[in-house]
Structure 1
């Protein structure tokens, strides 16, 4: 498989609409003179197993065609191996690609970066218990509870489900007592949410950790302290520009290891369910090689 590009595909990206650009992307890659194989799993677990087998054979790159969830899956297979990761954004958010300067709405330009771009060495972080990696953001608090609620809903479809879940969760939500350990510093605080960022954004452009750098050997920790719901709603739009960090309720800290503990709270990483806290996050500098423009 030396020299081969292995493209792992999420056929349900953007509700199945993302797959429409797969054939043009494959044609662009092959027109660049590369041998290309396509990997589609029967399930996420099957796709992960197939991707691990492909990476073990030493391809030129593993290319994730999908959104942040598929990038998250691909990271599990390439982190620490030296095999480069290519990203063809075809999901709803594409926040990891955007943080790395990969065109988030132009799959063909992203394909050109796979063919002729450079390798950028960036960090990734491990989650404990277990050995899961993440490359983007861990979310814990109000946002993860919205995800939990939305994942239990069968209607409405698409992003409308998350908007409805947000409204419903806000009605009953109360601040969560967190214990946050950053390296040797322990913080006990009621908070609306806590985000741990290797990159700056999640949720289709919410710059929750706007100054996070994926190659500085550190994780950014954004703590949004308890606040009235009306103030929370007023502050929420500011996250899309990253200006929420000026608010008195917001604190940004940095560290190499972060532990989050909050009762009855599930953590999500790169939009994927991790499980209940407590969880630990530990950055590993230079664990990923990514093809970028």
Structure 2
């Protein structure tokens, strides 16, 4: 689909290692006949403002060159519009790209898909009044680990997350959740609750393994209260999606989910949204993607 393409860039993706991948991608897009402009913000808010301005001018596509966080930002600009979203995965996890069937590790192949693909209509969902998400909302143990890791300045990279995980596990207690699933009320103590438009987050954790992005529904996974030892034995199964067979795991589907829980902060597509209570609601067919 050569035409006018705006490329939204996160120069910090992969700890800055993605910068060397950008020039070949831009060359491939231009070589394929696209007229390419590059958007780099001075902050997330500035990048979003620039992306929204670009989308308002009606390009043939807005392409996110980065990880899930940048895709999340791009979705804020294109959801509910006619401008399709392209994704060139250049982050650490790239879970949304994987759920859309895009290559997660080959940026040039992803650029070729942008050039030749036809837009596909999928769902996006709202969390609260003003925020969209395309992947997974997490809250509970995993979001508390994120909160702890974000407060830490050392060690760097994934090691910081592992240290935060170990520290959070020592003090964590199951959380009392109240969840409204299209009018069905679930009240229970749980380790975590995940709401998925797509199936995975956190670099390959298939938390909602049956979720698909175009069925008009959100998948909900509830991991009930279990002893810490059992939690440590069960949680690694999330990488295969087999955790859903554990007796403490409940899965549901709904269009609208209202969640209440004390001391819980929600993360959507790996980005901090804010504390509960909140409402998630799917908007079928609200996102056009190049796949």
In the superposition, the TM-score normalised over structure 2's length comes to 0.99
2:136 aligns with: 137
Matched, 1:3 2:3: yes
Q: Which runs of 5+ in 1 are unaligned?
A: none
Aligned residues: 290
Q: How many Å separate the matches in 2 of 1:169 and 1:99?
A: 29
Q: Is the 8 A contact 1:125 1:198 kept in 2?
A: yes
1:124 aligns with: 124
1:51 aligns with: 51
2:236 aligns with: 237
Q: Is the 8 A contact 1:261 1:279 kept in 2?
A: yes
SS at match of 1:151: helix
2:88 aligns with: 88
2:273 aligns with: 274
Q: Which runs of 5+ in 2 are unaligned?
A: none
Deviation at 1:78, TM superposition (A): 0.2
SS at match of 1:49: helix
Q: How many Å separate the matches in 2 of 1:238 and 1:18?
A: 30
Q: Is the 8 A contact 2:262 2:276 kept in 1?
A: yes
Q: How many Å separate the matches in 2 of 1:56 and 1:163?
A: 41
Correspondence 1:178-193 to 2 at 5 A? 178-193=177-192
Q: Moved runs in structure 1, 4+ residues, more than 6 A?
A: none
Deviation at 1:261, TM superposition (A): 0.8
Q: How many Å separate the matches in 1 of 2:156 and 2:5?
A: 33
Matched, 1:199 2:191: no
Deviation at 1:22, TM superposition (A): 0.3
In the superposition, the TM-score normalised over structure 1's length comes to 0.98
Q: Is the 8 A contact 2:3 2:33 kept in 1?
A: no
SS at match of 2:153: coil
